[in-house]
Every structure is written in C-alpha cells, then in structure tokens.
Amino acid sequence: MLEIRFNKAAKRFQYDWIFRNLDLLVEANSKIAITGSNGSGKSTFLKCLAGTNPLTEGSISYSFEGQPVSDADIYQKLVISAPYMELPEEFSLKELLTFHFSFKTPISGMSPEDMVKEMYLDEAINKQVSYFSSGMKQRLKLGLCFFSEAPLLILDEPTSNLDQRGSNWYLDLVGKFGQNRTIFVGSNDAKEYSFCDKSLNIEDYKQKKAL
Ligand SMILES: Nc1ncnc2c1ncn2[C@@H]1O[C@H](COP(=O)(O)OP(=O)(O)OP(=O)(O)O)[C@@H](O)[C@H]1O
C-alpha cells in the first residue's frame, strides 16, 4: 500500500514555473489522470513523481505499508512507460524479458511465455526489438509495466502508437492487472484515462514568471 503526498510541490525551468503550490494526497490504489495541453508540464510532473527530475520547491513524500520510502529508493516501487523512455533495442524480446526481470519481480504466477502471449507478441519472441513496429514497442513498454510487481505505475501517453485493438487491449490490462496499484496517466485523450477516479489539470498549477 503506497501513499504519496505532494507538499507545495513546484517545478521551474529558467523563468517558467511549470507548476507551483501543488498539494495532493494520493491514497493507495488511486487512479489519477494528469491532463493539460501540449507543453503544459504533464511529463515534467510525472518525472518529478518518479524522482528522475528534482523539484524546485516543496517535496513529495512516499510511504509504503506505513514506512517512509526515501527519494533514492522510490524507483524500486515504480515502473514507467513513456514515449521518451527507450527500450534496449539490441535485445531480442526473449532476452529483454530476461534482462528486465533480473531487476523487477514478475507479478505472481506470470511466466515469460504468458507475458508474450498477453502482449500478442508470440511471433516476435526471437525478433530483435529494434525491428519491432512502433505499436509492438508500445505494447512491450506497457507489458513490462503491468507485468512487474510494483505498487506505482506511471503511464505517459499510454496509447500512443496503438491502433484500436491496442487501445482496447491497454484498457483490458488496466482491468486485469491494475486494480491493486496506484496508476498515474499523463494524457490528452479521455479514452486512455476513462478508468481514473481523479483528474488533475497541470495548467491549474501554472505560474508564468518566477517571482
Ligand atoms: N529540461 C528542460 N529544460 C527546460 N525546459 C524544459 C525542460 N523539460 C521540459 N521543459 C519545458 O517544460 C514545459 C513542459 O514540458 P512537458 O514535456 O512536461 O509538457 P507535456 O504537457 O508533457 O507536453 P506534451 O503534451 O506535448 O507531451 C515545456 O515548455 C518544455 O519545453
């Protein structure tokens, strides 16, 4: 059970505040959409949440099963899928799954064969990931997230490059594997966050010039 608390969180690039004075308590298993127009700061917010971008002001605190988790350790509790995250493309699918799951624990009872089937990538098991289509890569990114044992999933533009079948498949994944986790979705497409119980428009926390 992961709880996340934003306390006066703020991020500034040069003179632009991307968001400021952001207070938010995220209870375990929440489903939260981060919305806003292009360039408003959705990805920046998600990178701050993941601990890969430092805040300019304020803090984000995490606690797992009642125990505080430090900024340095939060990466162990989360998985990310985002357009800017590269897959190690020199691996075959089989090798990549072995590599990924040498760091992360697979969700209970799931074998690499089950994962490949679930992602409908059976035909590509020995194919080098660099030869995957953009939709295949996206299914792989999402699969790696949902099939990893982690209480926090950060999904930035989860259905980018997915066709109708892929978009439906993503919503099925959420239903099958997303129930007992916290999920943040950065998106401009209402369909991909239709299951979220809360939506935060990052533009509501924008302040143009540094004071
Ligand atoms: N490292 C950086 N240095 C300076 N400015 C940055 C940096 N990273 C992002 N920005 C700026 O922060 C703003 C928010 O960018 P971000 O990528 O978070 O927006 P977004 O809402 O995810 O956009 P999109 O919907 O287009 O993906 C943009 O103006 C961007 O240029």
ipTM of this complex: 0.97
Between CA 113 and CA 117 the distance in angstroms is 6
Which pLDDT score, from 0 to 100, does residue 17 have?
94
pTM of the model: 0.94
- Testing ligand 1's pocket by substitution, the residue of 40, 157, 159 carrying the most ligand atoms inside 8 A of its CB is 40
* CA–centroid distance, residue 27 to ligand 1 (Å): 27
pLDDT at 211: 46
Please tell me if the CB atom of residue 143 comes closer than 6 angstroms to any atom of ligand 1.
no
pLDDT of 198 reads: 95
Strands (E), 65-106: 67-69, 78-81
CA of 107 to the centre of ligand 1 (A): 33
Q: Identify the segments of the chain with pLDDT beneath 50.
A: 208-211
- What is the reported pLDDT for 25? 96
Of 19, 17, 11, 1, the residue nearest 204 (C-alpha): 19
Residue partners of 120: CB distance under 8 A and separation at least 6: 139, 169
